[in-house]
Amino acid sequence: MNRLLYIFTLILLGLHKLPASEDHKVMIVIIDGTRYSETLGDTTNQYTPNMWDLAFNGTIANRFFNNGVTYTKRAVPALWCGTWTATIDTIYNGSSTIYAKKPTLFEYYRKDKLAPESDCYYMLPYIPNLWLPSFDVDYGPEYWPTFYSQGENDNDVAENTKIVIDNYHPKFLLIYLPDVDHAGHSGDWNEYTSAISNADEIVGDLWHYLQNDPFYEGTTTMIVTNDHGRHDDEHGGFQGHGCGCEGCRHIQFFALGPNIKQGHISNTYRTIPDMAVTAAHILGVDPVKATGEVMHEIFESSTVQNFYSNQTLMLSIFPNPVKAYSQIKFTLRNNSDIYVELTDIFGRRIEKIALGKYEPGNHTVPWMELGFKKNAVPVIHFLSLISESGLSVQKIVIEE
């Protein structure tokens, strides 16, 4: 079978419904106001090496956009609600603030799951006039999350998140990091990019913190995105935002966790409301008043049945982008000679290496033992694991 046709068929197989499970947990991280050109749109990984590592062990949505108002006051409620919603001015607990007219993911989760307040946390710095979820007659304050609004900056939010994880083990966390937007408005490029690098370290640290906790390990999906970008250079530069230019609209999205495709880049056009609806899908709740769509293309089939036999061949590579210490892990059902083959994006073979005879079961091969030639620059390839009766394909990035 033609290799590109095979890969295309694998993508089609991924369009399945993810079964709901009480074990699924979700952490959403919203990094306020960073351009795609300084995050996953930058293939040098200059400011976001941790997020690149995580993203290539999951799925990147390469065409993810704020399709509405590119200001935080409107975009964050849209991320909560899975739809663009009106925001209503109000006085709450003596402070002027706003609330979302449509129900939020917090409310859908708590009502559908009959979840206690401690199962759902919204983490952010101290804000005296905290924006609120909805007062919808079918949802409302009875189903709001626990608000943990303490500290002064992104680092405080990260440390507070660890405290909440250790003490309460919530199944749904939404974390808001505002420092990048504040730094961007300063007009200081170094301050702006330093804030991105700091958010990058926080995201990497939180993911590893989850994976070191048995409650979350192997059952948690992390989603990282932004509310808006910033003006591109043709429309005023990084200091501001709010228009419809590419810089303001194009934002990052990646997800990793169980049932998320590994090493996958999706070019399906997606928008802010799709994020919350996809998170609801993972959590097994119904966002009945949302307008977004589930991003089915990011999900992996539970097994990939190849087209040569009834053998199921499972392949994963971590970390990806590939480094000297990366490991290739594969599961084999039958005794077989195993080969690995490296091809470019056009399906042209670069190298093929025989690994030898393997018995059924789980196996690990260090990348450094394969002897592939080093590439001078980061480049996307496909790595195929080939048995006597089938193959499994993984998209990888090879770094210098």
Q: Where are the domains of the chain?
A: 23-298, 314-398
C-alpha span between 181 and 72 (Å, rounded) = 9
What tens-digit pLDDT sequence spans the chain (400 residues)? Answer: 344 444 444 444 433 333 344 579 999 999 999 999 999 998 888 999 999 999 988 999 999 999 999 999 999 999 999 999 999 999 998 889 999 999 999 999 999 999 999 999 999 999 989 999 999 999 999 999 999 999 999 999 999 999 999 999 999 999 999 999 999 999 999 999 999 999 999 999 999 999 999 999 999 999 999 999 999 999 999 999 999 999 999 999 999 998 899 888 888 999 999 999 999 999 999 999 999 999 999 997 533 333 233 334 667 777 777 777 787 877 777 788 888 888 876 667 888 888 888 888 778 888 888 877 665 455 777 788 888 767 777 777 776 5
> What pLDDT, on the 0 to 100 scale, is given for residue 310?
35
Tally Cβ neighbours within 10 Å of residue 114: 8
Contact assessment for residue 159 and residue 206, using Cβ atoms and an 8 Å cutoff: no
Q: Helix, strand, or coil here: 328?
A: strand
Rounded to the nearest 5 percent, the helix, strand and coil shares of the chain are 30, 30, 45
C-alpha span between 131 and 30 (Å, rounded) = 15
H or E element in which residue 291 lies: none
> What pLDDT, on the 0 to 100 scale, is given for residue 45?
87
Q: Which CATH architecture has domain 23-298?
A: 3-Layer(aba) Sandwich (3.40)
Contact assessment for residue 211 and residue 65, using Cβ atoms and an 8 Å cutoff: no
Of residues 292, 220, 217, the one with CA closest to residue 255: 220
- DSSP codes, 141-164: GGG--EEEE-SSSHHHHHHHHHHH
> What pLDDT, on the 0 to 100 scale, is given for residue 348?
76
Give 214's contacts (C-beta < 8 A, 6+ positions apart).
none
Give 65's contacts (C-beta < 8 A, 6+ positions apart).
249, 250, 251, 269, 270, 271, 272
Q: Which CATH architecture has domain 314-398?
A: Sandwich (2.60)
Nearest-10 crossing angle of helices 72-81, 105-113: 20
